[in-house]
Structures are given as C-alpha cells and as structure tokens.
Structure 1
C-alpha cells in the first residue's frame, strides 16, 4: 500500500513538472498576437456574412 502512494506521488510530480516546463516555454507575445489576429478574422467574417445576407435579401425581392 505504501508503494502506491509513492507511485502516485511520483506520477503527480512528473505531470506537474512537465506542465510547468510547458507553461514556461510559451511565448506569450506570440500567443497574444495569435489571439488578436483570430479575433479580427472572426469579426471580419461575421461582418461580411451579415452584409452579404442583407444584400441578398435586398436584391432578391420581387419587383412589381
């Protein structure tokens, strides 16, 4: 039973150490740049979709 605790402790230490090293390797400036570019792309896509939907509704009306 004592070896199970050592194995769990070793496993938890290994996982936490690995996550900490990965966290320290992140280039935060690059991550922020990526998030901002993604937000601009999503906003642009949404705006174009709304504008095209408006134009489609406006020009597809049947004229008397």
Structure 2
C-alpha cells in the first residue's frame, strides 16, 4: 500500500511537534552549559598532558 506525501508529512510534523513540546528551556540551557564545561576541561587536560610529555622528553 502506497502512502501519499501528505500522510508522511503529517506524521513527521506531528512527531516533531510532540518532541518539541516536551523540551524545556532549562534543559537546553543545562545542555549548553555542560557542553561548554566539557570542552574547556578537555582543552585544559590536553594542554596539561602536552606540557607534561614535553617536559619529560627534555
């Protein structure tokens, strides 16, 4: 059985809208903050390990 494009579009739109209703602003903000903290910590650990290995080689 072939489904037409309006049925597929309606199903996809309804699914996306039901997902977006359940996402809160606080969750998005928390995700952004955690991503920034993770990136900063990762960068600092990389710099520290690079410095540590460079000082042991000399």
- Scaled by the length of structure 1, what TM-score is found? 0.68
Structure 2 stretches of 5 or more lacking a match? none
Q: Alignment RMSD, CA only?
A: 1.9
Q: Which residue of 2 aligns with 1:52?
A: 49
Runs of 4+ in 1 over 4 A off after TM superposition: none
Tell me the alpha carbon deviations over residues 6-50 of structure 1, each in whole angstroms, 9 at most, x when there is no partner.
Answer: 832122112112211111111221122022112111211111111
Corresponding residue number in structure 2 for 1:17 = 14
Unaligned runs of 5+ in 1: none
TM-score relative to the length of structure 2: 0.73
